[in-house]
Amino acid sequence: MSTQLTPEILSTLEKQSIEVPSWAYGNSGTRFKVFGTPGTPRDPFEKIADAAEVNRLTGLAPAVALHIPWDLVDDFSKLRAHAEDLGVQLGTVNSNTFQDDDYKFGALTHEDAAIRRKAIDHHLQCVDVMDETGSRDLKIWLAEGSNYPGQADMRGRQDRLQESLQEIYARLSDDQRLVLEYKFFEPAFYHTDVPDWGTSYAQVASLGEKAMVCLDTGHHAPGTNIEFIVMQLLRLGKLGSFDFNSRFYADDDLIVGAADPFQLFRILVEVVRGDGLNNPDVSFMLDQCHNVEEKIPGQIRSVLNVQEMTARALLLDRDALGAAQRSGDVLGANAIMMDAFYTDVRPALAEWRESRGLPADPMAAYAASGYQAKINADRVGGAQASWGA
Ligand code: PSV
Ligand code: MN
Ligand code: MN
């Protein structure tokens, strides 16, 4: 076994888990076109089966996030048993207040109490689902905001948001949490009600300990130093979860680590620095769509990218870095970071996977498994699941 990855690093990597989103397995696209693909799941049970395949081949993805109502089923205990039979768990429950005409001008922030009531009730229903699925986290991303200056009373909306969140928070049991995701724009273009980590932090801090911030890596303005935000939220004890993905322009939801592997490395360096790795308070999730590539291999590639970059972050020589920082050795400190980043850990990880009974190359193993051909043949008829249905 290669000595590059020490036993200590390997035992840390062995504990890593990354939750995958049910919607990654459905068809998705842009506002221009959603491409259908053979073998796409037709219901939540089939999405879970695909997610379980990712876990079987990588040992990295033991939980699947659900989206309500897209993944609504009559009996969640059956879905839970189905997941457990396949070796995975049902994870975070995502609410959805962005596909209903009533929410055109807001949901939890709406001026009309009846619409706020409906949006709060939807979240309470999500917590009911969590009770049945055994999920810990309710993830709230809100598509609320305005398009034109003067259109909305931004201050009043913050107040109503807090009131609505308080009611949802009060419904959580002791072992459940709420994570509030921020996003700087889209679908609203002038103001967004939870645009940044500061707003999310302010909203959740006044709720209580069970409310945390969700950081989606694709939800920042270009050039934002995301690892600084990671550091700060960890320092404040309020980083509840990551939605990992990558982006070139906006909320592209591309494969994590594909657009900017160095940024992913820098984020993971701060995660390790702030004790956020394998920390139950800090969930690692993917929030991605696979519009043109195959979905299951897309998810396999994604969790492997997170694992690879975590290994590189763990290789960082922190003692040497600390010494360089303290002595003002600017270039020396930077060289230590770059040494870790440029270390190719792929052969060592492949060897290590094999030693644990996993395929050395999970992508190749999937291609050889026959699973895709089987689902292509089996899943004919019925409506294919898509992002949004
Ligand atoms: C919309 O921006 C979004 O991509 C958010 O990141 C959510 O996490 C996701 O959809 C699922 O609701
Ligand atoms: Mn997200
Ligand atoms: Mn997003």
Mutate to test the pocket of ligand 1, among 28, 216, 252 (most ligand atoms within 8 A of CB): 216
Atom of ligand 1 nearest to the CA of 21: 11
Residues 6+ apart with CB under 8 A from 288: 21, 24, 244, 245, 253, 254, 255, 256, 298, 299, 302
Separation of CA 106 and ligand 3 centre (Å): 17
71: Cβ below 6 Å to ligand 1? no
pLDDT, mean of residues 33-37: 93
Kindly report, residue by residue over 66-99, the tens digit of the pLDDT: 999 999 999 999 999 999 999 999 999 999 999 9
Q: What is the pLDDT of residue 25?
A: 97
Kindly report, residue by residue over 269-320, the tens digit of the pLDDT: 999 999 999 999 999 999 999 999 999 999 999 999 999 999 999 999 999 9
Tell me how crowded residue 28 is: count the other CB atoms within 10 A of its CB: 22
Cβ atoms of 210 and 180 within 8 Å: the answer is no
pLDDT, mean of residues 323-349: 98
Kindly report, residue by residue over 193-238, the tens digit of the pLDDT: 999 999 999 999 999 999 999 999 999 999 999 999 999 999 999 9
Q: What is the pLDDT of residue 381?
A: 78
pLDDT band with cut points at 50, 70 and 90 for residue 261: very high
Of 93, 92, 112, 94, give the one whose Cα is nearest residue 102. 112
Separation of CA 359 and ligand 1 centre (Å): 32
Instruction: Tell me the whole-structure pTM to 2 decimals.
Output: 0.97
- In this structure, which ligand is nearest to the CA of 247? 3
Ion ligand 2, residue ranges at CB < 5 A: 216, 243, 287
243: Cβ below 6 Å to ligand 1? yes
pLDDT, mean of residues 37-62: 97
Cβ atoms of 115 and 102 within 8 Å: the answer is yes
Q: What is the pLDDT of residue 1?
A: 52
Q: What is the pLDDT of residue 385?
A: 78
Predicted confidence (pLDDT) at residue 2 exceeds the cutoff of 70? no
251: Cβ below 6 Å to ligand 1? yes
Atom of ligand 1 nearest to the CA of 181: 8
Cβ atoms of 207 and 168 within 8 Å: the answer is no
Atom of ligand 1 nearest to the CA of 253: 4
Domain 15-316+358-378 in this protein, CATH class: alpha beta
216: Cβ below 6 Å to ligand 1? yes
Separation of CA 244 and ligand 2 centre (Å): 8
Atom of ligand 1 nearest to the CA of 183: 2
**Among protein residues, the one whose CA lies closest to atom 5 of ligand 1:** 141
Burial code of 77-113, b = ≥16 C-beta within 10 A, e = fewer?
A: eebbebbeebebbbbbbbbbbeeeeebebbbbbbeee
Predicted confidence (pLDDT) at residue 324 exceeds the cutoff of 60? yes
201: Cβ below 6 Å to ligand 1? no
Query: Which ipTM value was assigned to this complex?
Result: 0.98
Token duo for residue 90? 């049902």
183: Cβ below 6 Å to ligand 1? yes
181: Cβ below 6 Å to ligand 1? yes
User: For the chain, how many helices (H) and strands (E)?
Assistant: 14, 10
